[in-house]
Amino acid sequence: MDSEITLQVDGSERTLTVDTRTTVLDALRDRLGVTSPKKGCDHGQCGACTVLLDGRRANSCLTLAVAHDGAEVITAEGLADVVPDGHLHPVQQAFLEQDGFQCGYCTPGQICSAAGMIEEAAAGHPSTATDPAAEGGISLTDDEIRERMSGNLCRCGAYVNIVAAVHQAAETAASLRKGLPDPAEAAVPDSPTAASMPAHPEDRP
Amino acid sequence: MSNLLPGRAIGTPYERLDGELKVRGTAPYAYEQPVQNPLYLHPVLSTIARGTVKRVESAAAEAVSGVFTVLTSETTPRLEDPSDRELAVLQDNSIGYRGQIVAAVLAETPEIAREAAAAVTVTYTEEPFSAQLRADGPELYAPEELNAGTPTDSSEGDVDTAFATAALKVEQTYSTPAEHNNPLEPHATVAQWDGSVLTLWDSTQGVHAVKGTLAQVLGLEEEQVHVIAPHVGGGFGSKGMPHVHVVMAALAAQVTGGRPVKFPVTRRQMYTLTSHRTPTLQRIRLGAADDGRLTAMSLDIVEHTSRIKEFAEQTPAPFRMMYASPNRSTTTRVAPLDIPVPSWMRAPGECPGMFGPEVAMDELAAAAGLDPIELRRRNEPGVDPETGNPWSSRHLLECFDLGAECFGWDRRVTRPRSVQEDGWLVGLGTASAVYPFMRQPANTARIRYEQDGIYSVQIGAADIGTGAWTALTQIAADALEAPIDRIRLGIGDTKFPAASVAGGSSGTASWGGTIIAAARAFRADHGEHPSPGAQTEARAPQDPEAENLALYSFGAHFAEVRISADTGEIRVARMLGVFSAGRIINPRTARSQFLGGMTMGLGMALHEQSVLDPRFGIFVNHDLAEYHIPTNADVLDMEALWIEDRDEHAGPLGARGIGEIGIVGSAAAIANAAYNASGIRVRDLPLTPDKFLT
Amino acid sequence: MIPFDYRRAEDAASAVALVSARPDAAFLAGGTNLVDRMKLGIASPTLLVDVSRLPLDTVDVLDDGRVRIGTNVRNADLAANAHIRRRYPALSAALLSGASGQLRNLATTGGNLLQRTRCVYFQDPTTPCNKREPGSGCSAVDGYTRYHAILGASGDCVATHPSDMAVALAALDAAVVVLGPAGERVIPVSDFHRLPGNEPHRDTVLEHGELITAVELPPAPARSAYRKVRDRASYAFALVSVAAALELEDDAANPPVIRDVRIALGGVAHKPWRALQAEAALRGAEATEENFRAAADAELAAAEPLRENGFKIPMVRNTLAAVLRELAGIPVPDAGAAGTNHPEGHAGPGNTGWEELDS
């Protein structure tokens, strides 16, 4: 049973016909060619498909596209669109610098999850790592980051570096929120990475 | 021989060169490669463990709108070589395990393919089957040899007599469960057949291995198979050799009139189609004199394989070379079960084979009243006990010493169950790590000078998350004495010269050594100022000297474990690994790989277990909700260090490989720490909360 | 997954009408469990009525101190609600211990109550399961039972209910507000889920077409807490869990006396298990470690563990004592047996076959 829907994907309005059975994840990957969100389990058990759905992180594998007609979807690929001059989003930059991944397959989901989670914490949403008696804003300690990022499995075992990356990104976000300069800006190391990898590595430089 | 390549880019902690693609999510993995007008394959899996297919009723499936065809053993093209029963998909009616492919639907969309597969009805003739591993199993046998050419049994001296008269004895049974590799990217193959060339976009640890195997089973010339895998979402061994889905996709592509076929194996299907690690039962005897010096060591292994294809893991390998003792023996027996085919998983042999022995050493240390590190010091062998060969570079004790200092080992309280903090029992533990140096000969690299100082360096290697894109670029830069941004690396495609699999921690040494050889040959051919288009290919260098040496990497794991006195919940509060693995090419990515191995070791220690239900012959916890791998919250304070160690016998790179040693011994260190914390000695992995309840 | 029609409900009444009219219709809210089961082939509705956009998404504190939680309140939002966090910490903690951050952003209050067991056999359509296919048999009772029931099970089904939230709601004496073709009814949470008996395919007392519209909490207890024990530190279902609400006569007394207590257990039964025996043993008793353990034993006297889940008895006992200890402010006891091989420690591996060979 087909149905026509419209999604705002990474800033672009995309109208498409989907089977009612098609998930947001499959609509993106198979229908629209947006393959940044990954399919790791297809059952909400790994988090690789995490996108920002109407501004909140969500498992796109368990959401039916037809039920999200009109929704805004931001993937890791589109996250950088808010940053001028083609630079990476601060969360992406932090993952790169802290080596917060190995094979890269869980990474777009981790990055969307981190971006969503930093906002959740800023809004005061608690986690099991939060002191129940504490009031007000959340301080993103190591334990808070670990718990809040536990919906994103990484089989390569990059968690130690993911925690470091989220710390870095959260500091950047906090600075930007206060109107201060990005603290990571001054510390971009001398590496050929960012400038020289526009497409397939084989096509470099 | 000191032929070590001087390092400039080598040793520099560059960020991953493929990193920007990966943080954006635009690096194309197998399923994501853009192809035109594909068909989607969804397999139908057997629901019996052994027998034959009587009938496949596919009319209802074929009637679903959008179904292209339903392939059965009657309609599937024949293989040229069906002798490998794992790969001989839909070639006959026999069933060797539950979850085997018995039909396959090709359809216009993945949703239709899945729906139609559920509409296929299969009837069977069932036969009795066996799916339970026991040391008294009726069909146990001694394989001709174990994986990697390892001898099945070994014996020196008289273990029985020496053990009988030993002053100190440990005699215990240990077990490790079946595990699944579970790379985050599920296995996937996209196949296209144009009538003369088969193109496979595959998630593989070795494009050339896939090419060779597929050419053989399909009866094609190797030039007719083109395999592409620029980015691979982890493998940990399960993508080291092609499994049945690759053959299935290739066969399906022969019936579509040139349309590509996409076969994304589902997570659940991976539990039967794409291999697992065998469980092991390990009976160990350690006999020692009063001072802790070993006089007798024996290890008897029982593990499983699939009746349709033997894979016999080399579990006793590390036990044979780790410690000195005049009397030593090992045996390995294998149960042929009617189950999916086991294969490589990160550090096959060493990983399970260093669990029981390293816990037994901890038990012996307790019996001897010795610090576990001191016990290992007293049993340090001067030469490889197995071969008598001298060590090229054995720095086990240095790893322990550095680790003990950094970890605060002197704070360990010898008496178990002595430290309590807020209802948590706290303990420290340690264990050794080891992994052999392997360098594969089947490698060729091509170097071509382009222009403007740019060199193309091509080898059909793979980056499965190891950082090969980056490390090989660094090696090529130094080998050519060129700036790193002048190197244009090509890997992950059979259009590049032959390369061995990313496995056995051999990739960087094997491919990198070949790149160095090719660079040297290139300079010999073309000098320092080559003309554009100048090109040289070279094969991997021979290294006869290494044959008379024992080349291994070593390490020491330290763990602090906390166990809830109420609930038995167990946390690894701190973990440190110290390694001696030869030269480190990229400290940033190397640290990640060590930590990754240790994290998987933490999972092995606390979580991982593929539960085989012997009544059905299936792994019942076949998804990522029920098969637990560590989450972020499980990994607390973890660090990896290494000893500067340029092994002059490990080729011109001096690097021995780092992909696997991080997992080896880590589960034993955690189990030993859990004993120190709780006084409860758990010998059967994983260390779940129920085992610590009192 | 078979094809299905999709309808977006205009209001609750029309949603009920749509689903009531078709026996193979189902409500869709967050989808985190229903879509999962549809992919597994263990749920096959031919019509989904999407209720996720109905405006039943507020948490309202009523004048009498009760709280009304709209069915579409997301698990993440309910856990973060300031009133819930402050007054019903057991509920917030239970929600936060379930699933993952991104799943809690999708999952709804009503959907959480209606999630189905994660019994591995229920989820595998190739194995017999009375819950999935009545009369086909129970594969779990003699199989892999680590996550299965020790209380209230039957020979037909030994599955457990997977919700954390529901366990907290049971201890809080919450009620479920349901709209059906015949109008609204209110069902106490403890009566909402069923024991399996010989009809394990029926998880709840809901009739087809009945829609959860809200959950109501009575005024908050003085103290409440939730503790979940699981095989990994996060993102895993409970082995066991305990929710408790406690009222003491006089906080300053030592030991204090328990005026009222309500306890619910998770991971042990086909429904959130209200521990009435333990509650009865504790009401009016002193809040001591010994009394907590005796109360747990009173409840667990009826336990019938399966081959692999006998550990749940000491795990429940210890966890219940720990939760009550925390609520009552009782100090943590010494874990004892320092310096020894723990005599009653785990003995494994067993049943390897080597014992038989040796004997």
Q: Work out the percent of chain C whose per-residue pLDDT is above 90.
A: 91
Q: ipTM greater than 0.90, yes or no?
A: yes
Residue A197 binned pLDDT confidence (cut-offs 50, 70, 90): very low
Residue of C nearest to A49 (CA): C102
Indicate which residues of B carry an active-site annotation. 660
Interchain CB distance below 8 Å, A47 and C100: yes
Interchain CB distance below 8 Å, C106 and A147: no
Tokens 């360098």, located at residue: B439
Residue of B nearest to A108 (CA): B25
Q: Which of B134, B565, B607 is facing C335, going by the closest CB pair?
A: B565
A73 CA: distance to closest CA in chain C (Å): 14
> What mean pLDDT comes out for the span B218-245?
98
Chain A CB within 8 Å of residue C76 CB: yes
Any idea which of B262-276, C45-59, C240-254, C302-316 has the lowest mean pLDDT? C240-254
pLDDT value at residue B458: 98
A161 CA: distance to closest CA in chain B (Å): 8
A53 CA: distance to closest CA in chain B (Å): 17
- Give tens-digit pLDDT for C83-101: 999 999 999 999 999 999 9
Q: Work out the percent of chain B whose per-residue pLDDT is above 70.
A: 100
Residue of C nearest to A121 (CA): C80
pLDDT value at residue B647: 85
Residue of B nearest to C2 (CA): B115
Closest CA to A108 of A44, A173, A152, A56: A152
pLDDT at position C337 over 70: no
Number of CB atoms found within 10 A of residue A84's CB: 7
B187 CA: distance to closest CA in chain A (Å): 10
pLDDT value at residue A183: 55
Residue of B nearest to C293 (CA): B566
Q: Work out the percent of chain C whose per-residue pLDDT is above 70.
A: 97
- Pair B604, B666: CB distance under 8 Å: yes
Give the CA count within 13 Å in the CB-facing half-sphere of C19: 27
- Give tens-digit pLDDT for C140-179: 999 999 999 999 999 999 999 999 999 999 999 999 999 9
Interchain CB distance below 8 Å, B465 and A102: yes
Closest CA to B517 of B586, B426, B447, B436: B447
Relative orientation angle of helices B666-678 and B356-368, to the nearest 10 degrees: 40
Residue A194 binned pLDDT confidence (cut-offs 50, 70, 90): very low
In degrees to the nearest 10, what's the CA dihedral of A149, A153, A159, A163?
-20
Interchain CB distance below 8 Å, C233 and B621: no
Chain C CB within 8 Å of residue B418 CB: yes
Longest dimension (CA), chain A: 55
Give B-chain residues touching A157 at CB under 8 angstroms. 595-600, 630, 635
> What mean pLDDT comes out for the span B271-279?
98
Q: Work out the percent of chain A whose per-residue pLDDT is above 70.
A: 88
Give B-chain residues touching A80 at CB under 8 angstroms. 24
> What mean pLDDT comes out for the span C38-44?
97
pLDDT at position A199 over 90: no
Q: Using CB atoms, which chains have 3+ pairs under 8 A with B?
A: A, C
C90 CA: distance to closest CA in chain B (Å): 18
Closest CA to C72 of C35, C125, C30, C131: C30
Q: Which of A76, A97, A204 is facing B24, going by the closest CB pair?
A: A76
Interchain CB distance below 8 Å, B21 and A95: no
C68 CA: distance to closest CA in chain B (Å): 32
pTM value > 0.90: yes
Residue-averaged pLDDT of chain A: 89
- Give tens-digit pLDDT for B60-109: 999 999 999 999 999 999 999 999 999 999 999 999 999 999 999 999 99
Residue C347 binned pLDDT confidence (cut-offs 50, 70, 90): confident
Tokens 């006793």, located at residue: B316
pLDDT value at residue C341: 52
Length of chain C measured in residues: 359
Interchain CB distance below 8 Å, B632 and A152: yes
How far apart (Å, rounded) are the C-alpha atoms in residues B437 and B510?
10
pLDDT value at residue C346: 78
B203 CA: distance to closest CA in chain A (Å): 12
Chain A CB within 8 Å of residue C96 CB: yes
Residue of B nearest to A105 (CA): B233
How far apart (Å, rounded) are the C-alpha atoms in residues B465 and B475?
17
Residue-averaged pLDDT of chain B: 97
Helices (H) and strands (E) in chain A, counts: 7, 5
Give A-chain residues touching C100 at CB under 8 angstroms. 47, 150-152
Residue A203 binned pLDDT confidence (cut-offs 50, 70, 90): very low
Q: Using CB atoms, which chains have 3+ pairs under 8 A with C?
A: A, B
How far apart (Å, rounded) are the C-alpha atoms in residues A202 and B463?
13
Strand, coil or helix: what is C64? coil
Which residue type does B12 have? T
- Pair C32, C113: CB distance under 8 Å: no
- Pair B108, B39: CB distance under 8 Å: yes
Q: Which of B422, B567, B679 is facing C318, going by the closest CB pair?
A: B567
Any idea which of B14-18, B425-429, C252-256 has the lowest mean pLDDT? C252-256
pLDDT at position C252 over 90: no
pLDDT value at residue A180: 72
Q: Which of B118, B420, B607 is facing C231, going by the closest CB pair?
A: B607
Say how far residue B37 (Cα) sits from the centre of its chain.
35
pLDDT value at residue A174: 87
pLDDT value at residue B490: 97
Bridge partners (DSSP) listed for residue B426: B419, B562
Strands C67-70 and C59-61: antiparallel
> What mean pLDDT comes out for the span B460-488?
97
How far apart (Å, rounded) are the C-alpha atoms in residues B178 and B335?
13
Interchain CB distance below 8 Å, C32 and A3: no
Give B-chain residues touching A192 at CB under 8 angstroms. 14, 17, 484-485
Interchain CB distance below 8 Å, C105 and A147: no
- Pair C84, C78: CB distance under 8 Å: yes
Residue A181 binned pLDDT confidence (cut-offs 50, 70, 90): low
Longest dimension (CA), chain B: 77
Interchain CB distance below 8 Å, B417 and C231: no
Chain C CB within 8 Å of residue B566 CB: yes
Q: Which of B18, B109, B184 is facing A154, going by the closest CB pair?
A: B184
pLDDT value at residue C344: 55
Any idea which of B42-51, B543-552, C253-262 has the lowest mean pLDDT? B543-552
Contact residues, B window 575-594, toward C, CB-based 8 Å cutoff: none
- Give tens-digit pLDDT for A166-179: 999 999 988 888 87
Q: Which of A46, A75, A196 is facing B25, going by the closest CB pair?
A: A75
Residue B536 binned pLDDT confidence (cut-offs 50, 70, 90): very high
- Give tens-digit pLDDT for A13-69: 999 999 999 999 999 999 999 999 999 999 999 999 999 999 999 999 999 999 999
Residue C2 binned pLDDT confidence (cut-offs 50, 70, 90): very high
Please, is C51 exposed, middle or buried when counting C-beta atoms within 10 Å of its C-beta (0-12, 13-18, 19+)? buried
Q: Using CB atoms, which chains have 3+ pairs under 8 A with A?
A: B, C
Interchain CB distance below 8 Å, C239 and B689: yes
Interchain CB distance below 8 Å, A20 and C3: yes
Closest CA to C4 of C22, C29, C17: C22
- Give tens-digit pLDDT for B564-583: 999 999 999 999 999 999 99
Longest dimension (CA), chain C: 73
pLDDT at position B544 over 80: no
